[in-house]
A and B are shown apart, each in its own frame.
Chain A
């Protein structure tokens, strides 16, 4: 009986660990529940984060939100949608600065990201699946090669 219970516990922990690992390889692109956008493509997202696309089809301003530059989730996100690291992307922002275009706002934590997404019109951001809650909805799921399990422990 004891062995059976231990075996079930181990199985349970294994399933939890495996599912967390599966989840941890994804990045969810999210927006506040109040906003009409339901779906977005990778290229559209890249253009929003590069500030090439400034307004949506309804004429409202996009507000892309980043995590801080050394956050593993941001690094994986930048690599996925730009095929470049945040460091290389800064060269792009140098060029845009000369055109009067500024990079997206950054926040220091996932909780700050969720708060901004919930309350700011046109705000779009990204989180790990383990941080998903009712304040936001998923508009795109990005599969990345990196193991992002560590970001769930923050």
Chain B
């Protein structure tokens, strides 16, 4: 029980310590060999090195499930830029290290979330090699708790549809078209051969994808994604690995603290034997500032999954999910969230219940 109290105490202490860090913050970097900014990490300018990270602690009470209390994420970022054209980045994460059942083994829960090198070919194009977040839609590439408005993820961004991380090579191209940015990413994944088995969270076998984002204005951007992949979980000795196809459309509008974000996807799995799978879904999320650094958040989600087997059975499941909550961001790096999720036919994929969390960049 003492362990359960340790987390809130740690969070309060962090906030108090970080408040003093903000007060001492000085923008002039000229004379110090290191700088620390709350929410921007520790920078060693001479070594072109930055070390930072974030944590998330949460309390969830879902219908027909026992309540949970956990330090879900404790992440460390390391960025090293040894040359104008080269940038190394890694994120090392402890996931669910402290929870209702006590403190888990530190090493067992350690995971390499991301590990890549960026090579800048020109001012508009670059290669990324390593393990990176799969650039499908918007949520997956910004999924860290201090950045998103709700504790729980929308269903269409779960790894039920695609693996959240890819291992391979990505080419990024950016261009100004009519005074607006156009970004294109093309990537190839070979997770089975590139990711050491000890990391143990591979879901792609092989994948290839494309992501395009266009800024219509400074406040409004639209995007589309395509991904084809195979995963070892589908392996059928008789038919081999089926190919999954995903198509996505999304947009983001932001204005003076207001925000509207939509992501939709269509997922089709090629038949294995005589079985096939088809999924489609979307979410639309709105955020409105209420004053005193509190924002109201509301989200609607739709998810439709259809599985069939020739001459045998066909099952279809349509879920409607709603999320309503508040987010309080007293300082930019820290956010407290509270939300309630409810819905229709949502028990198996997104059960109703209460979510409370605190997350902070350090």
**Residues of chain A at the chain B interface (Cβ within 8 Å):** 42-44, 47, 52-57, 59-61, 66, 68-69, 82-84, 88, 90-91, 93-95, 97-103, 105-108, 112, 116
Min CB distance, B85 to chain A, in Å?
Answer: 6
Whether B79 sits at the interface, judged by CB under 8 Å, is yes
> How far is it, in angstroms, between the C-alpha of A153 and the C-alpha of B40 when the chains are bound?
33
> How far is it, in angstroms, between the C-alpha of A53 and the C-alpha of B256 when the chains are bound?
25
**What 0/1 readout, one digit per residue, does chain B (34-52) give for beta carbons within 8 Å of chain A?**
0000011101000000101
Known: A55-B85, A94-B333. 18 other contacts (CB 8 A): A44-B176, A47-B174, A57-B122, A57-B123, A59-B122, A61-B84, A84-B218, A91-B332, A94-B147, A94-B361, A98-B54, A100-B77, A100-B89, A106-B27, A107-B27, A108-B27, A112-B30, A116-B30
B residues contacting the other copy or chain, number (CB 8 A): 38
Whether the pair A98, B142 counts as a contact (CB closer than 8 A) is yes
Q: Given the interface contacts A47-B181, A97-B52, does A68 sit within 8 Å of B123 by beta carbon?
A: no
Q: Which secondary structure dominates where chain A touches chain B?
A: mixed
Whether the pair B332, A52 counts as a contact (CB closer than 8 A) is no
Min CB distance, B28 to chain A, in Å?
Answer: 5
> How far is it, in angstroms, between the C-alpha of A53 and the C-alpha of B77 when the chains are bound?
22
Whether the pair B39, A97 counts as a contact (CB closer than 8 A) is yes
> How far is it, in angstroms, between the C-alpha of A60 and the C-alpha of B146 when the chains are bound?
33
> How far is it, in angstroms, between the C-alpha of A56 and the C-alpha of B361 when the chains are bound?
31
**Residues of chain B at the chain A interface (Cβ within 8 Å):** 26-30, 39-41, 43, 50, 52, 54, 77, 79, 84-85, 87, 89, 120, 122-124, 142, 144, 146-147, 174, 176, 179-181, 218-219, 256-257, 332-333, 361
Whether the pair A100, B79 counts as a contact (CB closer than 8 A) is yes
Write out the residue numbers on chain B whose beta carbons fall within 8 Å of the beta carbon of A66.
27
Q: Given the interface contacts A47-B181, A83-B218, A94-B147, does A107 sit within 8 Å of B30 by beta carbon?
A: yes
Min CB distance, A114 to chain B, in Å?
Answer: 13
Q: Which of B85, B181, B219 sits near A59, CB closer than 8 Å?
A: B85
What residue of chain B has the Cβ atom nearest to residue A67's Cβ? B27
Whether the pair B181, A52 counts as a contact (CB closer than 8 A) is yes
Whether the pair A53, B30 counts as a contact (CB closer than 8 A) is no
> How far is it, in angstroms, between the C-alpha of A116 and the C-alpha of B28 when the chains are bound?
11
Q: Which of B28, B84, B89, B124 sits near A60, CB closer than 8 Å?
A: B84
What residue of chain A has the Cβ atom nearest to residue B78's Cβ? A100
What residue of chain A has the Cβ atom nearest to residue B333's Cβ? A94
Write out the residue numbers on chain B whose beta carbons fall within 8 Å of the beta carbon of A105.
29
Min CB distance, A86 to chain B, in Å?
Answer: 11
Q: Given the interface contacts A53-B123, A95-B147, does A103 sit within 8 Å of B40 by beta carbon?
A: yes
> How far is it, in angstroms, between the C-alpha of A44 and the C-alpha of B38 when the chains are bound?
29
Write out the residue numbers on chain A whose beta carbons fall within 8 Å of the beta carbon of B181.
43, 47, 52
Write out the residue numbers on chain A whose beta carbons fall within 8 Å of the beta carbon of B29.
105-107
Whether the pair B28, A107 counts as a contact (CB closer than 8 A) is yes
Write out the residue numbers on chain B whose beta carbons fall within 8 Å of the beta carbon of A54.
84, 120, 123
Q: Given the interface contacts A102-B43, A106-B29, does A94 sit within 8 Å of B84 by beta carbon?
A: no
> How far is it, in angstroms, between the C-alpha of A59 and the C-alpha of B123 when the chains are bound?
7
What residue of chain A has the Cβ atom nearest to residue B180's Cβ? A43
Q: What are 22 of the A-B contact pairs (CB < 8 Å)? A: A53-B124, A55-B120, A59-B84, A68-B28, A82-B218, A84-B218, A88-B257, A93-B40, A94-B361, A95-B142, A97-B40, A97-B41, A97-B77, A97-B361, A98-B146, A98-B361, A102-B43, A103-B40, A106-B29, A107-B29, A107-B30, A112-B30
Write out the residue numbers on chain A whose beta carbons fall within 8 Å of the beta carbon of B147.
94-95, 98
> How far is it, in angstroms, between the C-alpha of A61 and the C-alpha of B86 when the chains are bound?
11
Min CB distance, B204 to chain A, in Å?
Answer: 21
Whether the pair B28, A108 counts as a contact (CB closer than 8 A) is yes
Min CB distance, B6 to chain A, in Å?
Answer: 26
Write out the residue numbers on chain B whose beta carbons fall within 8 Å of the beta carbon of A102.
40, 43, 50, 79
What residue of chain B has the Cβ atom nearest to residue A70's Cβ? B27
Write out the residue numbers on chain A whose beta carbons fall within 8 Å of the beta carbon of B89.
99-100
Whether the pair B174, A43 counts as a contact (CB closer than 8 A) is no
> How far is it, in angstroms, between the C-alpha of A88 and the C-alpha of B256 when the chains are bound?
7
> How far is it, in angstroms, between the C-alpha of A60 and the C-alpha of B83 when the chains are bound?
10
Write out the residue numbers on chain B whose beta carbons fall within 8 Å of the beta carbon of A101.
79
> How far is it, in angstroms, between the C-alpha of A93 and the C-alpha of B40 when the chains are bound?
9
> How far is it, in angstroms, between the C-alpha of A90 and the C-alpha of B30 when the chains are bound?
21
Write out the residue numbers on chain A whose beta carbons fall within 8 Å of the beta carbon of B26.
108
Interface centre among B40, B54, B87, B179 (most CB of A within 10 A): B40
> How far is it, in angstroms, between the C-alpha of A99 and the C-alpha of B218 when the chains are bound?
20
Min CB distance, A48 to chain B, in Å?
Answer: 9
> How far is it, in angstroms, between the C-alpha of A77 and the C-alpha of B154 when the chains are bound?
37
Whether the pair A94, B146 counts as a contact (CB closer than 8 A) is yes
Min CB distance, B51 to chain A, in Å?
Answer: 11
Write out the residue numbers on chain B whose beta carbons fall within 8 Å of the beta carbon of A69.
27
> How far is it, in angstroms, between the C-alpha of A98 and the C-alpha of B133 when the chains are bound?
11
